[in-house]
Structure 1
Amino acid sequence: MINRIFLFIALCTTILISDQSFAQDKNNPWYISIGVNAVDTYPVGEDNRPFTGGFPNEMYNAEDHWNILPSLSTLYVGRYIGSGFSLGVRGSLNKIDKLGDAPADDLAYYAIDGIFTYSFRDALFGEGGWFDPYLGLGGGYTFVGDQPSFGTANGTVGLKIWLGESINLNLSSTYKHAFEDRYVKHMQHTAGIGFAFGGTDSDGDGIFDKDDECPDTPGLAEFNGCPDSDGDGIKDSEDACPEVAGLPEFNGCPDSDGDGIADPNDECPETAGLAALNGCPDADGDGVKDSEDNCPNEAGPAENDGCPYKDQDNDGVLDKDDECPTVPGTVANNGCPEVTVAVLEEINVQVRTVLFDLDKATIRKESYETLNAVAVTMKEYPNTQFLIEGHTDSQGSDSYNMNLSKERAASVKDYLVGQGLPASRLSSEGFGETRPVATNATAAGRQKNRRVEISLID
């Protein structure tokens, strides 16, 4: 029997997981142990006082002195108090057939003991661990044979070897001191299997509520009982994307396109882009994201929807700034052509031939074709303003000539407006006989002075 007990102890010791944390503690406050006990009176008998030779040499002489009942004979129930201390009660039974070296007549043995213990495990090795030595003090009552029950003061040395989070192998030796010599002083050794229990784990994740930061939600030990739903190593409470695995630098959110912008902030999460465009690409680098760029492969300004401005007439003035986008012009004239001296002279050669009814401002029909050609030429210069001048010879009074010249100039202006020239670009003025170009002394000279001319308005 003894050999089987020690064989069992050796077997359990070899299967320990030494880097695991085990305990009867605040999470598993209750503890129960069942096992066997051996009663031995020899080391503390009258002839073997402690430390006189018999105690150290004979205390574990199981074959000669121990009394063992070959069945479960010990039950211990205890509760963890805190800071390594526990308080418990142990009941045991046995059959005494040896009192030291003297035989006994199978005396019945019963004992009930209270014990106050202190575990040195955490103090010596830090919190947790499988090696758990302890000391205990207490007292109890013992019944042997027909003797009256007697009280004892007890001192215990023990060792718990934790085999798992809540199971251990419990070994102890207790000296039970009877205060009267007529009662049996003795040693009691126990070996048993103990179970720690009583902790609350509401969410069933293996982490007791006292240590569980998320007691109502199953979680992981590395997160103190809190979950990591997407398994990215960031607990849900700190994960901005708890349902999708992500990266720590993005608070647990993914960056699917690898552009350094987390998907929730990326307007184009499947295509690598730029931070300035909220993660969207800009193929031509013009600052307009491709989805809004009408010319994604050709750089252009945002105000033109990402397309470059055109210069249809190739005059060096972009269409957006060109007042005459289809007609080549000059930069100085905002892209419109400028009227040259030769062009202006050509216009005047034609307009000088315009005829009016005698002493009237009415244009003769034979001059319509001439004015039509003048209108076509003037339309080629759409941002040029023209002044239509009326002139007379010296015959007649000055006031009459002045009024007639104004009316004829106005009549030409009205005709040109009728041909599609904007009135805002035309002005008319009469100068009467004040600006002759020939002598009024001859008929030929007076004919030259009776004329209409066109000049430019700056």
Structure 2
Amino acid sequence: MKHLNTFLVAALLLLGVGVANAQDENNPWAIEVGLNAVDVYPVGIDDKGRLPEATKGDLFDEYFNANDHWNILPSVSRLSVGRYIGSGFSFTAAGAINKINKLGDVEINDDLTYYSVDGEIEYSLRDLINGPGGWFDPTIGVGGGYTWVDDIGFGTANGLAGVRFWIGENLALSVQSAYKYAFEDDYGIQHFQHSAGIMFKFGGKDTDGDGIYDQDDECPETPGLPEFNGCPDTDGDGIEDRNDACPNTPGLAEYNGCPDTDGDGIPDPQDACPTVAGLASLNGCPDADGDGITDAEDACPNEAGPKANNGCPYKDRDGDGVLDKDDQCPDVPGTVANNGCPEVTVEIIKQLNEYSKTILFDYDKSSIRQESYSALQSIADIMKEYPNTIFHIEGHTDSRGSDAYNMKLSNERAASVMQYLTTIGMPANRLTSKGYGEERPVATNNTAAGRQQNRRVEISLQK
């Protein structure tokens, strides 16, 4: 039991120290020096502990009988160190010494030595009663500790009540009464410990290190200037950051601290073109040709034109009767029906297929023979003249072999032609390919000549 009590007291102390390390308000530390009085009488009559019932009275009986019941050492006998935790709570570690020569109404000849070490969590009612900064500061709290009477120690659980009278910003007179319940039923001593002392608070903080105390610093976490109550003026323009719409760029008071780099009377944050003088109607951007379109959005900034044509005058560069704005092929004459691009005629398809007839493959393979490269180049050159047309490459075989094999071979040969055309400059998105096997003969498969015509690559328009 003794070791358990010691552990509980140590845990209370460690808990208090751990909490007290949290961030605090200004002047978080407090030291108190004073006297303490020990009274074993008004604790309630029972047979617990080492003192006989005759030395005890009812709870709070003759509570203020200092002459008869209080044991007081006539010297500094109590020292405490406290730290503010936050939200009215503080933690205090206290140590006291005393001598006991009064056990209730009984005086003893041989004084008993008294030592105590306690940890206390206290709550201040100051702000609730007086508002911040009031002089009257009642407190309540709980704690735990360890007490030795004539070298016999026991753990205690403590209930606290006290009051501080602040006679200065950091100086107070303090009185407190603590009821200490002893854990040990055999040799513990229930008692009251009263104390009175002088308390001094210190440890005021300057979080941002700007030489201005946090309690006087309107920007306590950001280094600032005295003329701005501790708040910064990052850009040095004489306008503190809180009132500066552009805190990182020197500016003018008339523009709330923002600059007007191009001098057009429009502050940079509202100026869509802050480095070039412009017009207010165009959010500070220029319009060199006066067509109502900002130069940045005008494809022809020095030549007036309608917005529908991106600020350029309507033109027809290729002279095909389709204005450039509507012409998908503005540099190649075409037809209106084909959006200004040239149309592929039947003659062109015939020409492409004349070339495609000469494409040769290795036997029973899809690899193209080298002597076909010039024909393929001619095909690509013709296709490029029709930039908005998609061409379809068909692969065909004769009827020899199985249907599945012929379909596979025709697919591979059509894909091989398409792949080669992309390597010599044709965009892949303008080509498709498919094999049809022996499904579409153009001649009889009963003769060698007919079968040769059926083994072919054809080019058509993608439908």
The two structures share one fold, judged by TM-score above 0.5: no
Report the TM-score when normalising by structure 2. 0.40
Larger Rg: 1
Report the TM-score when normalising by structure 1. 0.40
